[in-house]
Each structure stands twice: as structure tokens, then as C-alpha cells.
């Protein structure tokens, strides 16, 4: 990859025939004073996604760099997204999957300008429209929040993956929320209160197809694992999230213990519980 490339866009796609053209248009319409490329991982789709990607690669060969998989690589280590991430060779990167698209033509320029001017910043974020095609409803991801700095994970909120620009570091976890938490662990982020992208919510998605109990268990497993990955430096952030939110009796009990012991002594006790080899946090899901 030429060294003058400033931003790499990661775009994994699979069976996104209905959406991928808007996604690719959002890329080529970006107005920047620097060079960027888009790595499109076409994961052996069974619809017309590959044909659309191939057409745009011919129309904008300096921007669209496709990788057509001979077989479906799927998710996880060695998967489609992972292969794209290890190809990044630029100081900044962003992620926009093939069923989402950018609606702000200045996203990359504004994000790059912010990160270049603020070397302490690890991430630039904006807002996203969540669009439910079945219900014909739209809602904003971030509500009632002005532009400004997000100092750390403890003061964070959720901004959609397609509306984030990251400073590239060589080791980071993959996954929507995991990478958000990891970057806020590394340093501050700037939030711009402008709509950057549209997320097409799929009611038949993997997550929405899980039962409520399975979703709770997966959430707790994620919080517990991330707390370990981040060396327990954010116990207070993850602490209450590790308590099953439907178990109000347990919450009330812990609030009473906290009031009795005081905040500092309570969190020392809580850390011991969270790091117990029996993995209390996960056992609570089954027992309560």
C-alpha cells in the first residue's frame, strides 16, 4: 500500500445486494484532501453482491480494493474481517459493513482533521440513524448529546461502528463494542453531533434471534472478558453491568452492602468477587 494513504476503510460484506451500492457510493463521494482506500472483503456471497463490488472497483480503482473470497471465511480469527484488518498500513482506519452506508460526505476529512490536531485523541465519533425497514421506523443512536470530548470509558456512550474513525494501533480486539471499549481505554475520543451514517437494522439478525436469556448471558460474558482484557482497570464501569439486570433483589442487596461498607471498601470486595476463579458473574445468570 502506498505510504501516502492516510485512512483505510474496512468493508466486510456478505449477501448485501440490497445495500452494498449505497455503501460504495458513500465511500467514493467522500471529499478529502488526502488519499484513502477501501478494502472490501466480498465473502463468497450467493446473491449479486460480488457483481456490484466488481463494478465499483472498475469505476473507482484508486479507492475500491476488493478481495473476492473463493469460499466463505465467516467471522472470527482468520475470517473475512480479520483478513482485512491485518492489511491496514495507514495511520487511521474506519469500519463500515456492506449493509450500512455513510450519508456525510465530509466524515473522513472532519475525523482526520480532529485526530491530526489532537494527538492525544484515539477516536473520532459521530451519530447514526438506525433504520428498521420492516417497521418503517428511524431513530438516532445518540440522543441529546452535544459535540465534545469523551474522556474515558467510564464517561462513554454507544456510537455505531460505521460512525467511528480510529487512530491505528497494532493490537486491538475485533467486534463492535469490544473495539469501542478498548479505544476508550487507550485514550479520549471526540464526538461530533452530526449524522455520519445509516445502519440498516436487520430483524432477522444473529443477535435478535437469540432468546432473552442467551442475550443476557452473552452480555455478561462480554463484560467479564473485557474487564479481564483491560486488566481490571475499569471495575466500576463493568461492575454493575455484571449484575443481571432482572435480578432486582441482588441489586438491592449490593446497594445495601455498598452503603454499609462505603464506596472504597465495597469496590475492593467487589473486585475480589469478580476475579474469583469460579466466575461468579457468569454463574449468577444461571442461579438467578
The CATH number of residue 108's host domain is 3.90.550.10
- Where does the pLDDT of residue 277 fall: very low under 50, low under 70, confident under 90, or very high at 90 and above? very low
Look at residue 207 and tell me if it is in a domain. no
10 Å Cβ neighbour count for 203?
A: 10
Per residue in 151-206, pLDDT (tens digit) is 999 889 999 999 999 999 988 988 889 999 999 999 999 999 999 999 987 644 45
225 plus 195 within the same structural domain = no
Strand, helix or coil for residue 160: coil
Q: Which domain holds residue 132?
A: 5-201
176 plus 245 within the same structural domain = no
* Predicted pLDDT of residue 73: 87
Strand, helix or coil for residue 261: helix
191 plus 264 within the same structural domain = no
**Which of 37, 194, 27, 36 lies closest to 101, judged by CA?**
27
Strands, E assignment, the chain: 5-13, 35-42, 64-68, 92-95, 100-102, 123-132, 137-140, 148-150, 164-167, 189-201
Global pTM value: 0.82
End-to-end CA distance of the chain: 53
Cell of 128: 447514526
104 plus 236 within the same structural domain = no
| Number of domains observed in the structure of the chain | 2
**Which of 115, 116, 126, 188 lies closest to 156, judged by CA?**
188
Look at residue 132 and tell me if it is in a domain. yes
CA distances from 137 to 133, 143, 199 (A): 7, 16, 12
Q: For a pLDDT cut of 70, what percent of the chain falls above it?
A: 85
Are 88 and 168 in contact by the 8 Å Cβ rule? The answer is: yes
14 plus 135 within the same structural domain = yes
- Where does the pLDDT of residue 97 fall: very low under 50, low under 70, confident under 90, or very high at 90 and above? very high
Are 273 and 239 in contact by the 8 Å Cβ rule? The answer is: no
250 plus 171 within the same structural domain = no
Pick the last residue of a domain from 173, 201, 229: 201
29 plus 169 within the same structural domain = yes
* Predicted pLDDT of residue 114: 98
Are 110 and 163 in contact by the 8 Å Cβ rule? The answer is: no
* Predicted pLDDT of residue 274: 60
Look at residue 158 and tell me if it is in a domain. yes
Cell of 153: 470509558
Cα 266 from chain centroid (whole Å):
32
188 plus 275 within the same structural domain = no
188 plus 217 within the same structural domain = no
137 plus 25 within the same structural domain = yes
Q: Is the dihedral of CA 92, 98, 99, 101 positive or negative?
A: positive
Q: Compute the distance between CA of residue 271 and CA of residue 255 in angstroms, rounded to an integer.
A: 15
Q: Angle formed by the axes of helices 263-274 and 248-261, to 10°?
A: 130
Pick the last residue of a domain from 182, 201, 220: 201
Amino acid at each position: 500500500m502506498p505510504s501516502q494513504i492516510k485512512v483505510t476503510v474496512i468493508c466486510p460484506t456478505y449477501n448485501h445486494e440490497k445495500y452494498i451500492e449505497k455503501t460504495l457510493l458513500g465511500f467514493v463521494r467522500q471529499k478529502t484532501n488526502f488519499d484513502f482506500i477501501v478494502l472490501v472483503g466480498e465473502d463468497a456471497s450467493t446473491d449479486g453482491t460480488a457483481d456490484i463490488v466488481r463494478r465499483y472497483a472498475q469505476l473507482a480503482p484508486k479507492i475500491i480494493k476488493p478481495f473476492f473470497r473463493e469460499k466463505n471465511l465467516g467471522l472470527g480469527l482468520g475470517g473475512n474481517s480479520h483478513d482485512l484488518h491485518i492489511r491496514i498500513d495507514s495511520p487511521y482506519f474506519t469500519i463500515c459493513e456492506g449493509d450500512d452506508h455513510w450519508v456525510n460526505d465530509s466524515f473522513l476529512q472532519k475525523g482526520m482533521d480532529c485526530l491530526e490536531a489532537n494527538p492525544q485523541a484515539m477516536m473520532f465519533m459521530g451519530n447514526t440513524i438506525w433504520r428498521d425497514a420492516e417497521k418503517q421506523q428511524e431513530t438516532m443512536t445518540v440522543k441529546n448529546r452535544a459535540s465534545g470530548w469523551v474522556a474515558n470509558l467510564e464517561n462513554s456512550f454507544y456510537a455505531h461502528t460505521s460512525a467511528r474513525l480510529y487512530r491505528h494501533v497494532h493490537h486491538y480486539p475485533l467486534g463492535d463494542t469490544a473495539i469501542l471499549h478498548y479505544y476508550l481505554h487507550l485514550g479520549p475520543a471526540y464526538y461530533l453531533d452530526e449524522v455520519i451514517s445509516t445502519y440498516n437494522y436487520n430483524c432477522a439478525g444473529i443477535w435478535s434471534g437469540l432468546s432473552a436469556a442467551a442475550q443476557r448471558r452473552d452480555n455478561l460474558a462480554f463484560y467479564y472478558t473485557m474487564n479481564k482484557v483491560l486488566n481490571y482497570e475499569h471495575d466500576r464501569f463493568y461492575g454493575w453491568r455484571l449484575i443481571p439486570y432482572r435480578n432486582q433483589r441482588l441489586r438491592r442487596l449490593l446497594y445495601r452492602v455498598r452503603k454499609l461498607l462505603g464506596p472504597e471498601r465495597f469496590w475492593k470486595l467487589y473486585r475480589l468477587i469478580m476475579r474469583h476463579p469460579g466466575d461468579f458473574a457468569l454463574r449468577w445468570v444461571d442461579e438467578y
